[in-house]
Amino acid sequence: MLPFTLTILGSSSATPTSNRNPTAQLLSHGEKLFLIDCGEGTQVALRRMHIHFQRIRHIFISHLHGDHFYGLIGLISSMHLLGRTKPLHIYGPPVLKQILDLQLEASLTTLIYPLEFHPTQADGPEVLFEDDHITVSSFPMLHRIPTTGFLFREKPYERRLRKDMLNELNIPVHLIPLLRRGDDYTAPDGTVYPNESITIESPSPKSYAFCSDTAYFEDIIPVVKGSTLLYHETTFMNDRIANATDKFHSTTGQAATIARKAGVKRLLIGHYSARYDDLQSLLDEARAVFPLTELAEDGSVFEIL
Amino acid sequence: MLPFTLTILGSSSATPTSNRNPTAQLLSHGEKLFLIDCGEGTQVALRRMHIHFQRIRHIFISHLHGDHFYGLIGLISSMHLLGRTKPLHIYGPPVLKQILDLQLEASLTTLIYPLEFHPTQADGPEVLFEDDHITVSSFPMLHRIPTTGFLFREKPYERRLRKDMLNELNIPVHLIPLLRRGDDYTAPDGTVYPNESITIESPSPKSYAFCSDTAYFEDIIPVVKGSTLLYHETTFMNDRIANATDKFHSTTGQAATIARKAGVKRLLIGHYSARYDDLQSLLDEARAVFPLTELAEDGSVFEIL
């Protein structure tokens, strides 16, 4: 099973505060680092946490409100100034490319590494990236401007071979990949060994769903269903539901309701309005609906398991 | 005499580090706050220093390298989200307006306060702003892209009246403004009192010259001549002079030479390469040429007097 962890780099909404950066999260899966949103100050947050940001290969931007991307151009520039050579893939709304290009041109900067921009769209779900281990897809959220959530889903792990049976039956090496995928084993004497007798189950694949920013939106429930960890924004508490609705944001109670209806394993809330100094009341409101809720706070790390 | 102070919000060059923001300075003159450059993280630096940033009415951007303006769009957005109504004046290279507009449009933001953009040019000196107390002008620097320095010069203070003479001669109130400006006083009996006998000298006007970024450039000497405080970039030390020249930056020794040749009162150095953890050697190098040198460090405050 590959290590799968989430680091919160920013948990504030709209404006940074003295102790909370705007939205940015680092998702680490195996050797890979994915950055999700990149509010102002993200590069310094990465430095302070001693995360070598040149290792990030893929950056996903949910939408073009400043608190989700104003730190991107600075990070891209620093990667350049610090001698990056590996490609960087950025996934985000099409206009983001223009915004980056205009700023690079203004400084007469030609990046010394390849920047590959992949435009996203908010009309329906879409697979953005996949490799042998993970699939990253986007899905529409309900916000004032086109916005996507992101779903990071591990691919099923292959079954693991029972070493005792491997030795006892003297199974040829070339058959091992087939057995891992579920084939039965037929011995030279014709005896058939069902796959279950020679392999054991692997851990079930884990998934992380990132939902920020959005009004209460039940369309996302089938998409994030059963997620190992669901991050859902909670800009306000229930007593400001009119404010939340008006601004296409969610309350803590609404976030927890989505988590419950989607049957996720754990819920993480964040994107707090600057009005909330103490987050305990938000946590209480969420846990009343969905007990397995945690608070995203700058610098906190969550294992996805 | 109006209070005149400079607060360093960022002293790093190129990339922010864990403990140094990129360039930003807050100049306070009387009741006015001027922001000079606005690297990423400036709004948080202002918050952490408990500076009410809505009081800033004028922002001056020297050039479009990211470490001098990537924090501007976030500051503008936060001013909007926090309910600003007063106009904001931004002075900078023409393309800056496009960069700001594109980002505001992408987020469907119509600012709720007037933003007045004043394009600068780097072909020659230019007065950007003046009121009864101060004049702000720009002047060209020698950098890889069009760049200006900024000179903040107090207007001459009026002479102060001697209260004893005012009472003794029973000088009519309506003449006071003329005497402050230097007129002699003619009494009803025809006696002429020279201005020097009824007024005393006021403090001499102070000035602050901001020079970042630039290669060694003697053309600025007549412009910054006699400044009360000169800020001059020093990206490198003398042992990396080739590196500095190549990148259109200055060494510490060069900054101090400009200060000496311009006969300024004090020199402030900053815009340090991230390679320098300990700044003492930069200070020593500068002081060997110009003893009255100080180090700009994030959070430090200098009185201009």
Give the H/E segment covering residue B153: strand B148-154
Q: What is the ipTM of this complex?
A: 0.92
pLDDT per residue as tens digits for the range A118-170: 999 999 999 999 999 999 999 999 999 999 999 999 999 999 999 999 999 99
The helix (run of H) or strand (run of E) holding residue B302 is strand B301-303
Percent of chain A topping pLDDT 70: 100
Count CB-CB contacts under 10 A for residue B187: 11
Tokens of A122: 């908010």
Chain A residues inside the 8 Å CB shell of B99: 99, 102-103, 106
Residue of A nearest to B101 (CA): A99
CB-based contacts of B242: which residues, under 8 Å, 6+ apart? none
Of 1.10.10.10, 3.30.1490.20, 3.50.50.60, 3.60.15.10, which CATH number belongs to A4-157+206-303?
A: 3.60.15.10
Contact pairs from chain A to chain B, CB under 8 Å: 107
**pLDDT value of residue A271:** 97
Mean pLDDT value across residues B288-305: 98
Length of chain A: 305
pLDDT at B42: 98
Give Cα A212 to chain centroid, integer Å: 11
Task: Tell me what pLDDT residue A1 has.
Answer: 86
The contacts of residue A18 (CB under 8 Å, 6+ apart) are B44, B47, B48
**Contact between chains at A102 and B107 (C-beta distance less than 8 A):** no
- Every domain range in chain B assigned CATH 3.60.15.10: 4-157+203-303
Kindly state whether A93 is in contact with chain B, defined as any CB-CB distance less than 8 angstroms: yes
Residue among B67, B93, B108 whose CB faces A144 most closely: B108
The reply to whether omega before B298 is within 30° of 0 (cis) is no
Residue closest to A38 by CA, chosen among A7, A73, A6: A73
Tokens of A162: 């029972």
Report, as an integer, the average pLDDT of A188-207.
94
pLDDT at B80: 98
pLDDT tens-digit map of B120-136: 999 999 999 999 999 99
- The predicted model gives B186-193 an average pLDDT of 94
pLDDT tens across A69-114, in order?
A: 999 999 999 999 999 999 999 999 999 999 999 999 999 999 999 9
* Residue ranges of chain A that CATH labels 3.60.15.10: 4-157+206-303
Query: With contact defined as beta carbons under 8 Å apart, do B272 and B281 qualify?
Result: no
Q: Chain B residues with CB inside 8 Å of A77's CB?
A: 15, 66-67, 70
What's the confidence (pLDDT) of residue B225? Answer: 98
- In the CATH scheme, what architecture does the domain B4-157+203-303 have? 4-Layer Sandwich (3.60)
CB contact under 8 A, A18 and B47: yes
- B144 in A contact zone (CB under 8 Å): yes
DSSP A226: T
Does any CB of chain B come closer than 8 Å to the CB of residue A55?
no
For residues B183 and A155, give the distance between their C-alpha atoms in angstroms, rounded to a whole number.
88
Mean residue pLDDT of chain B comes to 96
According to the model, what pLDDT value does residue A134 have?
98
**Is residue B1 very low, low, confident or very high in pLDDT (cuts 50, 70, 90)?**
confident
* pLDDT for residue A295: 98
Q: Do B44 and A18 touch (CB under 8 A)?
A: yes
Check CB contact under 8 Å for B96 and A106: yes
A216 interfaces chain B, CB cutoff of 8 Å = no
Phi-psi region of B74 (alpha: psi -120 to 50; beta: other; left: phi over 0): alpha
What Cα–Cα distance (Å) separates residue A32 from each residue in A27, A71, B171?
8, 21, 83
- Cβ atoms of A124 and A175 within 8 Å: the answer is no
Cα B51 to Cα A22, B19, B44, B60, distances in angstroms: 20, 19, 10, 18
Task: With beta carbons under 8 A apart, name residues in chain B contacting A18.
Answer: 44, 47-48
